[in-house]
């Protein structure tokens, strides 16, 4: 008989965390879950998860801890103020899938290493659909040997790529979010241009499918713009958080990113005007509002 599967704690079982934890359960791992809103963790009990009342209880004795939390402050709070780091055994690994600033990721890695705990910053892309299907793109910063060692843990979740040392997984995620945000803005503006000239946004989207402008964003987010059913899958407030982090890192690196700066300003205005929880494809609403006959957030 082979060795028993690694014990895993999954902290943060929201839109992305819940389907990721479910994938690990389906793969045969013993998974203990915790979420600030306990009802979201309880929903995984029927899938075989053990539900813990606190993050430190979830982490106690775990070989691997996943964190999928809202921001760097939340990750720091759970790891260092709510007792997770103290609850973990030597040589345990924290895999942080949250989208946080690269400097925060490096700081967490250093503080955990002082306790004999390993750390990977491993943010993901692919959305809720990718999380449920196990097709996420996982961008990992840290020790490449450790990433290879944990191949069995990553396999149910998607495709993992070692980007470089600590913090570079988060840099890759920021680059991903740059492309997403700017592309959403470009598609929204193009649809407005076509519609203003008398064309059909739906027909426009169909016409350019398969050409150089093809992308998953045109496929998924473009359809949301056509149907005007934006939903809440990728809240604009989180897109704005990522854009703020991108520009902060760019400033540290003495880079000027004019396209990112422009789309960041539009997302900031959209969030301020009531679009915080609207999917980031809803940026179309903000751009429409700047033009005659535009509509505000739904």
Burial class (CB in 10 A: 0-12, 13-18, 19+), 56: buried
Phi-psi region of 85 (alpha: psi -120 to 50; beta: other; left: phi over 0): alpha
Helix (H) or strand (E) holding 250: helix 236-252
Can you tell me the distance from the alpha carbon of 141 to that of 119, in angstroms, rounded to the nearest whole number?
Answer: 9
Can you tell me the distance from the alpha carbon of 252 to that of 157, in angstroms, rounded to the nearest whole number?
Answer: 33
Could you tell me which residues come within 8 angstroms of residue 144 by beta carbon, excluding any fewer than 6 positions away?
162
- Give exposure, 248-282, as e/b (b: 16+ Cβ within 10 Å): ebbeeeeeebeebeebbebbebbbeeebbebbbbb
Q: Is 40 a catalytic residue?
A: no
Active-site position among 40, 46, 73, 173: 173
E strand residue ranges, the chain: 7-11, 30-34, 50-51, 64-67, 93-96, 118-121, 124-125, 136-141, 158-164
Helix (H, G, I), strand (E, B) or coil at 30: strand
Tell me the catalytic residues.
173
């Amino acid at each position: 008989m082979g060795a028993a599967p690694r014990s895993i704690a999954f902290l943060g079982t929201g839109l992305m965390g819940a389907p990721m934890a479910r994938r690990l359960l389906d793969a045969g791992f013993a998974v203990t879950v915790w979420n600030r809103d306990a009802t979201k963790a309880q929903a995984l009990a029927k899938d075989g998860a053990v539900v813990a009342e606190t993050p430190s209880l979830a982490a106690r004795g775990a070989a691997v801890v996943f964190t999928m939390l809202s921001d760097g402050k939340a990750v720091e709070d759970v790891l260092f103020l709510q007792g997770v780091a103290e609850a973990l055994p030597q040589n345990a690994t924290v895999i942080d899938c949250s989208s946080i600033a690269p400097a925060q990721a490096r700081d967490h890695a250093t503080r955990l290493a002082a306790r004999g705990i390993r750390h990977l910053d491993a943010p993901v892309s692919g959305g809720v659909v990718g999380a449920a299907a196990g097709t996420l793109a996982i961008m990992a910063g840290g020790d490449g040997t450790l990433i290879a060692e944990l191949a069995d843990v990553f396999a149910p979740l998607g495709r993992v790529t070692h980007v470089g040392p600590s913090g570079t997984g988060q840099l890759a995620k920021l680059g991903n979010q740059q492309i997403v945000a700017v592309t959403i803005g470009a598609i929204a503006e193009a649809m407005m241009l076509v519609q203003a000239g008398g064309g059909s946004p739906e027909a426009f989207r169909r016409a350019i499918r398969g050409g150089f402008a093809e992308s998953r964003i045109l496929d998924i987010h473009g359809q949301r713009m056509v149907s005007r059913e934006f939903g809440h899958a990728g809240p604009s407030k989180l897109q704005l958080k990522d854009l703020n982090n991108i520009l902060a890192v760019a400033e540290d690196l003495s880079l000027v990113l004019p396209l990112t700066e422009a789309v960041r300003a539009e997302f900031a205005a959209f969030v301020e005007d009531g679009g915080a929880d609207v999917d980031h494809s809803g940026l179309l609403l903000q751009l429409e509002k700047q033009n005659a006959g535009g509509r505000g957030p739904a």
